[in-house]
Amino acid sequence: MSIPSEPTVTSPPLEALLAEIESDRAQEVSTLTQGAASSSEEEEASLSTTACIRFSVDKAVLAAPLSAVIEVARMPRVTPLPGLPAWLEGITNIRGEVVSVVDMSDFFGWGARRSQGDSLMVFRDETMKVGFRVGRLQGMVSLNTETLQMPSGRFSQGDISEYVQGGTLVDEAFLYLLSVNDLLGSKRLNAFRRTKGLSL
């Protein structure tokens, strides 16, 4: 399988990145609550532009909508559980709540890529929340969802095409936008949620 090369991106310190994410989240909430009237062109542009957190997984660069991310942090201690596939690492405690942790690289079929520099991103949809081990967090990016494309054959041997809305060039590298709903609603995750009683 051919995986796109990771661009040379200098990651900000995690504390600075977390502050940036919280600032963007507060600005997004403020914009929604103000409900200020604007021109139709501005409203349409706002609807098609999504604030995202950019991060690496193996050699690929992806982004997740800020609205779907409820936690980003250094990779915490994970307690393994017996009888689970390799991509399902186990469980961890996030602010007093037990959350299952998935190795995103392993889940995509690229093999486990676990290191001390990894980060945790907790995604949510209407029914569940799951923590994912990812590589380096690379800051915020705004994506125009109307210009996303899916290069043919780029992930022909992997599963990622099922979980992304498409991608676009950012900083001279191709970046893929995750569809968090498709990821969390996948048959693989939900099969273990039902049979193992996991906190997914």
| The domain made up of 14-147+156-196 is a member of CATH 2.40.50.180 | yes
pLDDT digits (tens, 9 = 90+) for 150-167: 766 555 446 588 899 888
Sheet holding 164-170, edge to edge: 137-144, 49-57, 60-65, 173-178, 164-170
Give me the residues paired with residue 162 across strands. none
Place of tokens 């909430």: 29
Give domain limits for the chain.
14-147+156-196
Interatomic CA distance for residues 157 and 145, integer angstroms: 25
The pTM (predicted TM-score) of the whole model is: 0.77
Contact between 155 and 161 under an 8 Å Cβ cutoff? The reply is: yes
pLDDT digits (tens, 9 = 90+) for 30-46: 444 344 344 444 444 45
- Tokens matching residue 81: 């559980």
